[in-house]
Amino acid sequence: MLINVNMTINGKAVSGQVEARTLLVEFIRDHQKLTGTHVGCDTTQCGCCTVHVDGKAVKSCTMLAVQASGKEILTIEGLAKADGTLHPVQEAFREHHGLQCGFCTPGMVMVGVDICRRHPNADEQTVRHELEGNICRCTGYQGIVEAIVDASAKMAGGQA
Amino acid sequence: MGQYGIGQPVRRKEDVRLLTGKGSYTDDVNFDGQVWAAFVRSPQAHAKILSIDTSAAKAAPGVVAVFTGSDMKADGVGTLITDVEFKDLAGKDMFRPKRDFMTIDRVRFVGEMVAVVLAETQAQAKAGAELVMVDYDALPAVGSTAFAAASNSPVIWEEHGSNVGVHWENRPEAEIEAHMAKAKTRVVVDIVNNRVVPNPMEPRCAVAKWDNDELTIYAPTQGGRRIQQGLAKIVMNLPADKVRVISADVGGGFGIRGKLYPELGVVSWATRKIGRPVKWRGDRSETFVSDYHGRDQINHAELGLDANGRVVALKVWTIVNCGAYFAENGPRLPINGGGRIIPGVYDIENFYFSVKPVLSNTVPTDTYRGAGRPEANFLMERLMDAAADATGLARDEIRRRNVIRQDQMPYRTQMGMLIDSGDFIGNMDMAMKAADWAGFEARRAESAKRGKLRGIGLSNFVEPSGGRPTEEMRIQVTPEGKAVVYAGTHSHGQGHETVWAQLIQTFLGIPFENVSLIQGDTKIMPKEAAGTFGSRSSWMGGVGLQRSAKRIVEKGTKIAANLMQAEPEKVSFDAGVFSAGTSSVTLAEVAKASYELKNLPDGVEPGLDESYFLKRDPEEFNYPNGTHVIEVEVDPDLGKIEMLNYIAVDDCGKVLNPFIVHGQVYGGVAQGIGQAMTEMTVYDDEGQLVTGSFMDYGMPRAHHLSMIDALFNEVPCKTNDLGVKGAGEAGACGAPGAFVSAVCDALKGFGIRHIDMPLTPDRVWTAIQKAKAAKAA
Ligand code: FES
Ligand code: FES
């Protein structure tokens, strides 16, 4: 049996018919063809699938599409401004070498934005602790941590 | 060369694409009419297959077809076999078992493929796979490395009669024992080098399509040429040019993604069989039981020292667990990968080395970041620490007395390698200074006041880099004066899009932003493309580009001479401009002219498009080296270790882009710290993989690591024109030794001198309790 879902993704109203078991990440990737959001595990550990649901970071592999119905979703594709200007967190990742292969990156950036929102002027230890749910195999986290610390300071300083 | 030349910390070109969700990974590829593949994998570690009943699966909703290994075999599909051949001292050959793409009558590890189900949706394929009934007759299994080598263990390959593939030795032991007998001090270490699961963040995936009598397959690889050749020959029975392998963005390689995995063979064969595109999206659980694993050695070693603390002889016995089959490079890793460099940075003339590659009921092991060199360097560093204890010399002093000095370079190791350059004493001085080694005792005392045990450790390393000895790179200058690099190398995180553009700007003066990169498509990559692994790209790719650029200039000179009406000998080239006397013409103008016949001198072909097939002596490598120092604090009540400070001094030769090379160091260090601190692959006695997901397997997370201070002690390599040395694997070589040394330094009050990796809180706490009990007794 298929169920109707309606939600806003990156500011655009979308709808679709899904099975009850369809995950939000499957709806985003397979139905909406927004392939920036990645799947890196099957146990809710890696965070590659992180998106924002009503402004909060959520692992989209751990939420059903039907649960997201009526909600506001932001994926990595919707983060930069329409004119291509990067979000301060994206810009900081570029500046601090926060990515190598890029696979964990969309999730890292989305969680990074959430960290900056909750922790203005976040320090290194806060960021490391907050990244508990996101795994990167390439960078040793160094550039990621630096990027989020930097972006959080800049955003708190109103430069964003 | 301005802000984009060689040596500049240029920000990466690839980043904006990857930061905005515009990457193109294999799972982003779909074809109309595709079916989904799901594999039936063995839940048994070791069993005979009595029967496979596919009828229920075939009847399930959406299922299109179900195939087994017998179906592939009946179609003439061949088998996989290791590249490696060794002999023992008596001349007997290593046993080389063949691997079917899906096993037919026996399973030898949990996760081995038995059948494939193809269905309209992924869910239907997975449901169908559940319905394939395999009747197994379980056999006793071998899950542990030590047991695999034991005389009473079950034998995995009956036709060989033993789990030991070969007993390889570099020379008779007695020759070295003669030297060892003269030692004043003998130290012995026993070390387990733990098995790790490489786990690139992108799970494996493949999309295959049979069209117009050609196969196209998308998959994450490290350069698809060898996979293309293998698929064409072994699976498809086609000329290689009828097989196209495409790897656009790849979510991490680490050595293990460069392989012809059986899944690739199955989907390739299946798409032709059913005439529809086939997609397989592996999940993380499949990564754990089907991607090759890394490391997994047991080492026993003995070092003999004279009265001055100089090593007189070294003997090493290694058992390497290669899993159920010898993979492409499996048995080679301790011998050619690491063993060749076992004396490490140390000047040791007398060396006996015994290696037994063993087969067991586990996932095969193969090249993983460092591929034998982290194991070799770790062993040497544990020996040096033990030698420091035994002689009463400080840990740095025992090393200073034994390292190869700069005036001994080029240094021929007893295993025949020629180390061209390196400043091993300088590395130690620089790292110890940066770490304020001299001031450490005050910090230790301060920690002690808080009830914490502080320790500091160091490790030296050197690691031959370069991988396979050939590579081809091509530069096309377009009529607009832009450059397109067709690379044989493959970037999957290393930032080649950026670094190759820096090189082109340096060599040809074409602006950085006007250089683009084409890679990862066997149809358009250079014929002799090899790929990226073994920390080889800066050398093989970089020098390949340098020589291609030289050819561009040579040809451009002829055309420019013609345009300027000058003698070619009078034409010089600098920063994108050809000049002769007072006239000059830009490379862009020459490029444009090169495509117009009227401008070409006699005998010059149109276009400005040159490639270079780079061959180096197969025995010639470069030698990245360094010293890493780590400071830790141990909580004796919890066994928990906190990393406080990490100094990495690396000699990567000439650094092309420090920003990117630092990234390589950090990543390598994190994988080394992962192995040393958190990553433990556990097989139980029945051969079941206990750590089969991120819930059970300790991937290093952000909070396990501290900031890493990466410094360069740059000594240009003498054996290549760019002076570069590898960088990708150095961190993984340096970190484990320094980490264990630091923790053992913290625990020296308990008399604890070694703990096997990973140093989890449980292991550290247990070691402390044992030491306390022993003291009380
Ligand atoms: S895919 Fe969602 S946490 Fe790993
Ligand atoms: S950049 Fe590759 S996994 Fe994080």
On whether any CB of chain A is under 8 Å from the CB of B288, the answer is: no
B606 and B595 in contact (C-beta within 8 Å)? yes
HSE, CB side, 13 Å, CA atoms: give it for residue B671: 32
B624 pLDDT above the threshold of 90 = yes
- Residue burial B558-587, b: 16+ Cβ < 10 Å; e: rest: bbbbbbbebeeeebebeebbbbbeeeebbb
What is the count of residue pairs from A and B with beta carbons less than 8 Å apart?
A: 175
If asked whether residues B709 and B609 sit together in one domain, one would say no
If asked whether residues B321 and B423 sit together in one domain, one would say yes
Q: How far apart are CA A69 and CA A17, in angstroms?
A: 11
* Pocket, ligand 2, Cβ cutoff 6 A: A 99-105, 136-139; B 201, 252, 493
Site to probe by mutation for ligand 2, drawn from A50, A101, A145 as the one with most ligand atoms within 8 Å of Cβ, is A101
Which atom of ligand 1 is least distant from the CA of A60? 2
Higher model confidence: residue A157 or residue B132? Answer: B132
Contact B701 A131 (CB under 8 A): yes
B1 pLDDT above the threshold of 60 = no
Q: What is the pLDDT of residues B210-256, one digit of tens each?
A: 999 999 999 999 999 999 999 999 999 999 999 999 999 999 999 99
pLDDT class of A158 with cuts at 50, 70, 90 = low
**Closest CA of chain B from A35, distance in Å:** 6
pTM of the predicted model over 0.90: yes
From B99, B263, B152, B734, select the one nearest B463 (Cα to Cα): B734
If asked whether residues B393 and B528 sit together in one domain, one would say no
If asked whether residues B490 and B412 sit together in one domain, one would say no
Write down which residue in B271, B288, B305 finishes a domain. Answer: B288
**Chain A residue with the nearest C-alpha to that of B494:** A100
Residues of B in contact with A142 (CB under 8 A): 663, 666, 705, 707-708
Closest ligand relative to A135 C-alpha = 2
**Torsion sign (Cα): B189, B190, B192, B193:** positive
On whether any CB of chain A is under 8 Å from the CB of B603, the answer is: no
| Residue with CA at minimum distance from ligand 2 atom 3 | A136
Note the Cα B594 to chain centre separation in Å: 41
- Within-domain flag for B158: no
Write down which residue in B241, B272, B288 finishes a domain. Answer: B288
Q: For residue B749, how many other CB atoms are within 10 A of its CB?
A: 11
The domains located in chain A, with CATH, are: 3-78 (3.10.20.30), 88-156 (1.10.150.120)
- Within-domain flag for B149: no
What is the maximum alpha-carbon separation in chain B?
95
If asked whether residues B471 and B461 sit together in one domain, one would say no
In the sheet with B640-651, reading across from the earlier edge strand, the strands are B453-462, B625-635, B640-651, B708-712
Question: What residues are paired with B487 via a beta bridge?
Answer: B473
Helices (H), B450-577: 496-508, 542-564
If asked whether residues B603 and B669 sit together in one domain, one would say no
User: Residue B7: is it exposed, middle or buried by C-beta count within 10 angstroms (0-12/13-18/19+)?
Assistant: middle
Q: What is the pLDDT of residues B362-406, one digit of tens each?
A: 999 999 999 999 999 999 999 999 999 999 999 999 999 999 999
Write down which residue in B247, B265, B288 finishes a domain. Answer: B288
If asked whether residues B605 and B640 sit together in one domain, one would say no
- Within-domain flag for B712: yes
Task: Give the pLDDT score at B617.
Answer: 84
From B360, B480, B495, select the one nearest B18 (Cα to Cα): B495
Q: For residue B185, how many other CB atoms are within 10 A of its CB?
A: 16
Q: How far apart are CA B125 and CA B132, in angstroms?
A: 11
- Domain with B60 in it: what CATH number? 3.90.1170.50
**DSSP calls for A113-125:** HHHHHH-TT--HH
- Within-domain flag for B578: yes
- Within-domain flag for B638: yes
Tokens of B300: 């026993």
In the sheet with B47-53, reading across from the earlier edge strand, the strands are B106-107, B47-53, B133-138
Q: What is the mean pLDDT of residues B670-677?
A: 98
Question: Which residue from A46, A99, A100 is facing B19, i.e. has the nearest CB?
Answer: A99
Tokens of B416: 């025949």
- Within-domain flag for B575: yes
SS3 B73: helix
If asked whether residues B106 and B203 sit together in one domain, one would say yes
Q: How far apart are CA B583 and CA B572, in angstroms?
A: 11
Question: What residues are paired with B353 via a beta bridge?
Answer: B316
Tell me the average pLDDT of chain B: 96
From B313, B44, B309, B71, select the one nearest B174 (Cα to Cα): B313
- Domain with B750 in it: what CATH number? 3.30.365.10
If asked whether residues B588 and B639 sit together in one domain, one would say no
Contact B19 A134 (CB under 8 A): no
B355 and B335 in contact (C-beta within 8 Å)? yes
Task: Give the pLDDT score at A160.
Answer: 45
Whether omega for the bond prior to residue B410 falls within 30 degrees of 0, making it cis, is: yes
B34 and B277 in contact (C-beta within 8 Å)? yes
| Residue with CA at minimum distance from ligand 1 atom 3 | A44
A66 pLDDT above the threshold of 50 = yes
**Alpha carbon distances (Å) from B455 to B378, B726, B732, B739:** 18, 30, 20, 9
B58 and B274 in contact (C-beta within 8 Å)? no
Question: Which residue from A19, A42, A93 is facing B19, i.e. has the nearest CB?
Answer: A93
If asked whether residues B212 and B84 sit together in one domain, one would say yes
Q: What is the pLDDT of residues B25-48, one digit of tens each?
A: 999 999 999 999 999 999 999 999
Question: Which residue from A48, A76, A140 is facing B667, i.e. has the nearest CB?
Answer: A140
**Chain B residue with the nearest C-alpha to that of A101:** B493
Q: What ipTM goes with this model?
A: 0.97
Residues of A in contact with B24 (CB under 8 A): 35
From B231, B128, B746, B719, select the one nearest B522 (Cα to Cα): B231
Q: What is the mean pLDDT of residues B8-13?
A: 95
What is the domain extent for residue B395?
294-465+621-776
Site to probe by mutation for ligand 1, drawn from A26, A59, A134 as the one with most ligand atoms within 8 Å of Cβ, is A59
- Within-domain flag for B177: no
If asked whether residues B126 and B214 sit together in one domain, one would say yes
Check residue B493 and report its DSSP letter. S
**Torsion sign (Cα): B525, B529, B535, B537:** negative
Question: Which residue from A41, A75, A99 is facing B694, i.e. has the nearest CB?
Answer: A41
Instruction: Find the B81 Cα to ligand 1 centroid distance in Å.
Output: 35
H or E segment and range at residue B128: helix B122-130
Q: How far apart are CA A56 and CA A58, in angstroms?
A: 6
On whether any CB of chain A is under 8 Å from the CB of B494, the answer is: yes
Q: What is the mean pLDDT of residues B155-174?
A: 96
Q: What is the pLDDT of residues A82-136, one digit of tens each?
A: 999 999 999 999 999 999 999 999 999 999 999 999 999 999 999 999 999 999 9
Q: What is the mean pLDDT of residues B49-73?
A: 98
- Within-domain flag for B191: no
When scoring B201, B659, B666 by the number of chain A Cβ atoms within 10 A, the one with the most, hence best to mutate, is B201
If asked whether residues B589 and B642 sit together in one domain, one would say no
Q: How far apart are CA A65 and CA A26, in angstroms?
A: 8
Name the domain count of chain B.
Answer: 3
Q: How far apart are CA B374 and CA B399, in angstroms?
A: 18
Tokens of B324: 């159920």
Contact A41 B693 (CB under 8 A): yes
Which atom of ligand 2 is least distant from the CA of A102? 1
